[in-house]
Structure 1
Amino acid sequence: MKNCSSDMKRSALIILMLKGFCALSQNTHEVLYSVGCFLNGTAEVQFEFDALEVSYVDFQTEEVIYTVPRFVDPDPSQILVGLSILKDALQNKLSCLAITALCAVEEKSPPKEKDPPESILYPAEEAELGVENRLICFANHFYPPYIKVDWTKNGHPVSEGVSLSRYYPNTDQTFHQFSTLTFTPTEGDIYSCTVEHSALDRPITRVWELDLTRPSLGPDICCGVGLILGLVGVVVGVFLMVKGHHGQ
């Protein structure tokens, strides 16, 4: 390899795509196997089935983790049956890291490219007073793949009921990640999530508060009454016309 592309400076990404791989269905499905590694020495291997992640390899425990239940149809463990997933993942990790190391040596001082995240905060379901729900803090399009998310309720730090997903790759070699907070909406409570990333000059904070305002029912009620009176007028008119016709 004589030259490393700008994408290679960020990471080495090897993608193998197989179509019609699944023999459990008469339909054609798409299986995506991806290996990604980064200059900091970390690596990712994952399988996608019809754009849905079904498994990834945890290199710390050296095991295959299924991210969807095995009772779904088709069973993800059956989709990948016969493949030496863990063995191949370990070999591909070494190959991928060797590529990034070669790029680092060739470039001598690879640029530290960074992309700051975008973030939004929203409830998983329509929020109602006293009904348990989840707030989702979604960070997207960031690189390198590490963010820190902090939650507050009325200005005070919150840790109970908080979860953070793995980071997932986008097609442009950036990443996205979710953090969720389980909560029960109460009038006057204000929640926030703060995202920190090395590409940001300062953290991004998003705020959420239950909106108790409801549209007035006045116009709807007036329209309803008007419609009812209109229909009554039509019925009475028809009745009088019929009566007059028979009376002649």
Structure 2
Amino acid sequence: FAASFLCFTMQLYTSSNTCLLSVTDAIFGYAVIHCQFTASHDHFYLEQIFFNKVLLGQYNSTLGKYVGFTEKAQEVAEALNKNQAFIKEAVKNEATCKTHIPIMMDLLSKSVEPSVRLRSVEAVDSRHPGTLVCSAYNFYPQQIRLTWLRNGKEETSDVSYTDELPSGNWLYQIHSYLEFTPRPGEKITCMVEHASLMEPKLYDWEPTPESVTNKIAVGTSGLLLGLVFLVTGLIFYKKNTTGERQDNINQKTSTK
């Protein structure tokens, strides 16, 4: 245990990424470094060494020294406390921790407005013929609220949500689903509330207008009708061409 504690501790201060141990009862060992702080900038720096899921020892900046929690780890901790190079490095890391606190606080205090998309998708295994999806992308902080409104009133039935999913770079995304049966003249809205917004933002679902639908239907019908005429013309042309060839062959045969 003493060898493992020293080996992992040395990894904290060297560029080595490997640590080979010849301890027969070893299962798993790892080191954890914490830089913990509060909104008032109170902080402390902590290094911890675990082996076989047991905390063997740690350096805590509030104490300013290494502490061992087993008999062997205590011996190693005493040796480290007498080594000024290790103590100076720990103090240096604590100073780095303190220096980065204002940067982290500034980063955490900023908010990023979500980009929102409202769309209709095909209903799957639902008693309703339609499903709407309200998606919010790339927002920070994580807390957000999506609410469905039908004619200005909150809709809670047949509504489901995903968790806030990480998108990378500290940003998140979330998706909400509304299974519904369309009603003539109704207004469906997705309301988004987030720290980046001065007030809730409303996104109305705009179904395809009937005029556009009719134009699409007429255009599709015209295309199909044109294809029918084209195929019929090709068949008629092929038959005429075949008939003319057969007449020419018959005339040549009778002449002979």
SS in 2 for 1:192: strand
Select the residue among 181, 198, 201 that pairs with 1:201: 198
For residues 115 and 242 of structure 2, the distance between their equivalents in structure 1, rounded to whole angstroms, comes to: 63
Select the residue among 102, 110, 116 that pairs with 1:107: 102
Partner of 2:149: 152
1:169 aligns with 2:166: yes
Partner of 2:71: none
Q: TM-score, normalised by structure 1?
A: 0.52
What runs of 5+ residues in structure 1 fail to find an aligned partner?
1-36, 41-83, 89-98
For residues 248 and 195 of structure 2, the distance between their equivalents in structure 1, rounded to whole angstroms, comes to: 86
- What do the CA deviations read for 1:103-137 (whole angstroms, capped 9, x no partner)? 6994399221111111101122189xx95232111
- The code of the aligned residue for 1:239 comes to G
Larger RCO (CA within 8 A; separation ≥ 6): 1
**1:131–1:162 CA distance, 2 compared to 1 (3 A):** closer
Task: Give aligned-pair identity as a percent.
Answer: 22
SS in 1 for 2:247: helix
**1:199–1:245 CA distance, 2 compared to 1 (3 A):** same
**1:145–1:109 CA distance, 2 compared to 1 (3 A):** closer
**1:194–1:226 CA distance, 2 compared to 1 (3 A):** same
**Mean CA deviation greater in 181-190 or 104-113:** 104-113
Contact 1:119–1:204 (8 Å) recurs in 2? no
Structure 1 vs Structure 2 CA RMSD:
3.5
Contact 1:189–1:209 (8 Å) recurs in 2? no
SS in 1 for 2:110: coil
For residues 163 and 38 of structure 1, the distance between their equivalents in structure 2, rounded to whole angstroms, comes to: 36
Q: How does 1:98-247 map to 2 (within 5 A)?
A: 106-107=101-102, 110-111=105-106, 112-125=109-122, 132-211=129-208, 212=210, 213-214=213-214, 215=216, 216=218, 217-247=221-251
- The code of the aligned residue for 2:241 comes to G
SS in 1 for 2:204: strand
- The code of the aligned residue for 1:224 comes to V
Shift of 1:149: 1.1
Contact 1:142–1:174 (8 Å) recurs in 2? yes
- What do the CA deviations read for 1:13-46 (whole angstroms, capped 9, x no partner)? xxxxxxxxxxxxxxxxxxxxxxxx9979xxxxxx
SS in 1 for 2:136: strand
For residues 131 and 242 of structure 1, the distance between their equivalents in structure 2, rounded to whole angstroms, comes to: 62
Shift of 1:174: 0.4
Q: TM-score, normalised by structure 2?
A: 0.50
Shift of 1:180: 1.0
Number of corresponding residues? 153
Q: How does 1:54-133 map to 2 (within 5 A)?
A: 106-107=101-102, 110-111=105-106, 112-125=109-122, 132-133=129-130
